Amino acid sequence: MKMDGEPKETDTGVKVKLYYTPEDLPEFDYETSLGSPGKYPYTRGIYPTMYRGKLWTMRQYSGFSTSENTNSRFKFLLDQGQTGLSLALDLPTQLGLDSDDPLAKDDVGRLGVAIDTLRDMEEMFDGIPLDKISTSFTVNSTAGIILAMYVATGEKQGVSKEKLRGTIQNDILKEYIARGTWIFPPEPSIRLIGDTIVYCIENIPRFNSVSVSGTHICEAGATHAQSIAYPFLAAITYINEVLRRGYQIDQIAPLLSFHLIAGGIQFQLFQDVANLRAARRLWAKIVKERLGAKQEKSMLLRFSTGAMGSGMTEQQPLNNIARIAYYALAAALAGSRSFNLPCFDEAYGIPTEEAIRTSLRVQQILAYETGVPDTVDPLAGSYYAENLTNYFEKEIEREMEDIESRGGIVACIENGSIQSKLLGQAYEVEKKIQTGEIVKVGVNRFAIDEEQREMEVSKVDPEVLKRQIERLNWVRAARDKGKVTACLHDLNKAATEQRNTMPYLVDAVKAYATMGEIIGVLKGVYGEAEQPVFI
């Protein structure tokens, strides 16, 4: 039998001791290991005052069916005290298909709003001044087009480009690994990301041109350390693409933000926090020492946190509110700048208004009732938290070296080795949940015979597809066709000659070229990615 004092292996495989002492931090030095908040290496946080200076941004992912629905949902959320908008786009929009494309019919307006042309974007932000809000777009392959539409919408509102604030996800590499909305092969996709970063450097300094994401790959089976290591490698790939074009690291790094995991199926409160503290420290070192940044703001790991639906159980769904609250606590203890929490009815479909509001209330309770934001990085100096932070920093570095020694992240995606590794890990976790080795309350322990609970499930209005196609046809009929053709021709030429596509995308969307038309041009130049299919 195991003695009580022996290390316990946690569900994530990390071994945890009964208690920790100064001996667990042999080389601990406050200045070099932590630094005060806002000081290199930023372990404690990237700003001196953190939440006292500014609370985290409370953002919940939303966006429904059509631009009018989304517009009223946005106004509702802003009225409720939400401070940033996070927009879900439907899958056809994320994949560059017009709403009348035969492949799109079952997915139009389903997981988010449908955007076919600039007209949809204009309606979505009608009465919402773009210089007063920041908007986060979950979009990758078509990110440049969405950014172009946002710029054009701002222009029509009289808001100049430099006043726009927001984020486009624009992180293609994790799409091949986990999320699946790739269109083009990796190489031209990385070039397109370079185009958006350069455009932001030159024109929209307050816009985060890439949100490098660790959350999706975590859902797909990545460990804590991998969920930092792979995004870091992706970020370095995008940075190198822009360095290649003659820009400096200090121009590029401040435009990158990260979306990292706090919560989810492998949640362990202290490990999640330590992993993020380690990430902050390691990124500062990488940007300074490896990439040669001189300016402090380049070294800041600016991250939001999220956890997706997989931690949410279908059984006893109200239990999920407790889980969501712990995820939020982890995010706050880790110094996340913006929380995106899952909703308690996530296992049932698109979250209802009540569930979205409840997740927002969880954030507000944490912010205003608990005292948690009052002091910066409250776990600092804990033998346990610092030991775990050191452990994760080494693990993240080890995972990065592993990929780099095997040809780099692009090669490991193209040969499928990352995907198959994550799948194997996900399979093991799932088996452990099914055998009860990993406890899920209400699922494999403390389960009850529930009455056949019927939850309110958001439905897609069957009229949505019809209305969206009608509007698309109206726009097609009303626009200047000669102008569209000319803009698409110019875009084709720019893409072929490997010039920055962004100015041409802005012109094309202003001429009301459709998403499908623009992506069609780019497919002609770049080709399409091959799908690695294996199990």
Partner 1 sequence: MRGLVDRERPIRVLIAKPGLDGHDKGAKVVAKALKDAGMEVIYIGLRQSTDSILSAAVEENVDIIGLSILSGSHVPICRELSQKMVQQGIEGAKVVVGGVIPRADVQVLRDLGISEVFRGGSSFDDIIQAIKKIVRGTQRQ
- Which residues contribute to the site for partner 1 (CB under 8 A)? 91-92, 94-95, 97, 103-107, 110-111, 175, 178-182, 219-221, 313-315, 347-350, 423, 426-427, 430-431, 434, 443, 452-455, 457, 460, 531, 533-535
What is the smallest separation between the CB atom of 55 and partner 1, expressed in angstroms? 31
Strands 210-213 and 256-261: parallel
What is the smallest separation between the CB atom of 228 and partner 1, expressed in angstroms? 19
Closest residue by Cα to residue 426 from 226, 268, 181: 226
**Rounded Cα distance, 456 and 351, in Å:** 9
Which residue, 91 or 287, has its beta carbon nearer to partner 1? 91
Q: Residue 273: helix, strand or coil by DSSP?
A: helix
Which residue, 316 or 382, has its beta carbon nearer to partner 1? 316
What is the smallest separation between the CB atom of 414 and partner 1, expressed in angstroms? 15
CB 480 within 8 A of CB 511: yes
Q: Residue 163: helix, strand or coil by DSSP?
A: helix
Which residue, 449 or 454, has its beta carbon nearer to partner 1? 454
**Rounded Cα distance, 400 and 36, in Å:** 27
What is the smallest separation between the CB atom of 229 and partner 1, expressed in angstroms? 19
What is the smallest separation between the CB atom of 341 and partner 1, expressed in angstroms? 18
Which residue, 168 or 488, has its beta carbon nearer to partner 1? 168
Strands 61-62 and 85-87: parallel
Closest residue by Cα to residue 65 from 45, 41, 44, 93: 93
For residue 232, the number of C-alpha atoms closer than 13 Å in the C-beta half-sphere is: 30
Secondary structure, 3-state, 328-363: HHHHHHCCCCEEECCCCCHHHCCCCHHHHHHHHHHH
Which residue, 279 or 465, has its beta carbon nearer to partner 1? 465
**Rounded Cα distance, 265 and 440, in Å:** 9
3-state helix, strand, coil in the chain (%, to 5): 55, 10, 40
What is the smallest separation between the CB atom of 423 and partner 1, expressed in angstroms? 5
What is the smallest separation between the CB atom of 312 and partner 1, expressed in angstroms? 9
What is the smallest separation between the CB atom of 69 and partner 1, expressed in angstroms? 16
What is the smallest separation between the CB atom of 84 and partner 1, expressed in angstroms? 25
CB 113 within 8 A of CB 91: no
Q: Rounded to the nearest 5°, which phi and psi values hold at 210? A: -140, 135
CB 197 within 8 A of CB 209: yes
Which residues make beta-bridge pairs with 134?
165
Which residue, 179 or 277, has its beta carbon nearer to partner 1? 179
Which residue, 62 or 387, has its beta carbon nearer to partner 1? 62
Closest residue by Cα to residue 138 from 235, 55, 59, 230: 59
What is the smallest separation between the CB atom of 464 and partner 1, expressed in angstroms? 12
Residues 6+ apart with CB under 8 A from 452: none
Which residue, 110 or 337, has its beta carbon nearer to partner 1? 110
What is the smallest separation between the CB atom of 323 and partner 1, expressed in angstroms? 15
Strands 15-16 and 8-9: antiparallel
Task: Please return the burial class of 69, using the count of CB atoms within 10 Å of its CB with bins 0-12, 13-18 and 19+.
Answer: middle
Closest residue by Cα to residue 256 from 498, 46, 501: 46
Closest residue by Cα to residue 364 from 45, 53, 57, 52: 57
What is the smallest separation between the CB atom of 433 and partner 1, expressed in angstroms? 9
Q: What type of residue is 393? A: E
Which residue, 415 or 498, has its beta carbon nearer to partner 1? 415
Which residue, 250 or 314, has its beta carbon nearer to partner 1? 314
Which residue, 116 or 219, has its beta carbon nearer to partner 1? 219
DSSP annotation string for 201-218:
HHH-TTEE-EEEESHHHH
How far from 474 is each of 156, 479, 512, 513, 514, CA to CA, in Å?
Answer: 20, 9, 11, 13, 12
Which residue, 442 or 503, has its beta carbon nearer to partner 1? 442
Which residue, 194 or 306, has its beta carbon nearer to partner 1? 306
What is the smallest separation between the CB atom of 161 and partner 1, expressed in angstroms? 31
